Amino acid sequence: MAYENIRLDTEGAIAVLTIDRPKALNALNTQTFLEMESALLLLPSQVRVLIVTGGGDKAFVAGADIAEMATIGSAQAREFSALGHRVMHLLERLTIPTIAAVNGFALGGGCELALACDLIYASEKAKLGLPETGLGVIPGFGGTQRLARTVGKMRAKELIFTGERLDAAKAREIGLVLEVLPADQLLAHCKTVAGKLIKNGPMALSQAKRVIELGADQDLRTANELESQAFGVLFGSEDQKEGMKAFLEKRPAVFSGR
């Protein structure tokens, strides 16, 4: 399918979704969200890891498109927020691992997009933050919730209240990103990580992601029960049999995803 504001490129089991509006610093508008939604729903079945990044050399996603938002009213703002939440939730609930390659500005909606991914890596020139209060609004695509779950409630309040922009090193220090790479090495690093992931059992990765996400909102006993159930389910899979057989035979496993 042809898109105007995004690109989806596949390299075997790895796909790269690029937000590609460099003249607008890849800002998220309604059309971009709808194109992202379509791409996520139509991901090829062979894709086992998705990398999300920004086009051009300045921005991952600089934020939501203020030019589109400036003149809308409350009802339209609520609809725009609901659309953004829908896309972020779809990204977060993919059964495959997702990696944000933050190659520049990741402010507002861009930071929220990164937070909806499983793993976040940033270039040395990246800037991250949720500056919406400086515009008289708040994050509208899950930022108030995912940031608090990532860096802690008090740190999230500080960042949202002040609207501070963090450089990549500070973002790593507080646990907002995992690693900081030179700009020309970022995407290659993310592909290397993706290459490690696709060597493991796809059903196991899917269940691990599911249990971590669901368990985070449960008490420990309930979360451990979710883990135990998933552990048992995997022992009925061909992948489990192949993985353990390969280990005993001292060879790489060949997983089928069944």
Count the neighbouring beta carbons within 10 Å of the beta carbon of residue 41.
Answer: 8
CA dihedral 198, 93, 20, 28 (to 10 degrees): -160
By residue count, the chain amounts to: 258
CA 34 from centre of chain: 17
Count the neighbouring beta carbons within 10 Å of the beta carbon of residue 239.
Answer: 19
- What gap in Å lies between CA 159 and CA 246, rounded to an integer? 47
How many Å is the Cα radius of gyration of the chain? 19
Listed in sequence order, the residues at least 6 apart from 103 whose beta carbon sits closer than 8 Å to its beta carbon are: 53, 54, 57, 59, 60, 122, 123, 125, 126, 183, 186, 187
Residues marked active site are found at 112, 132
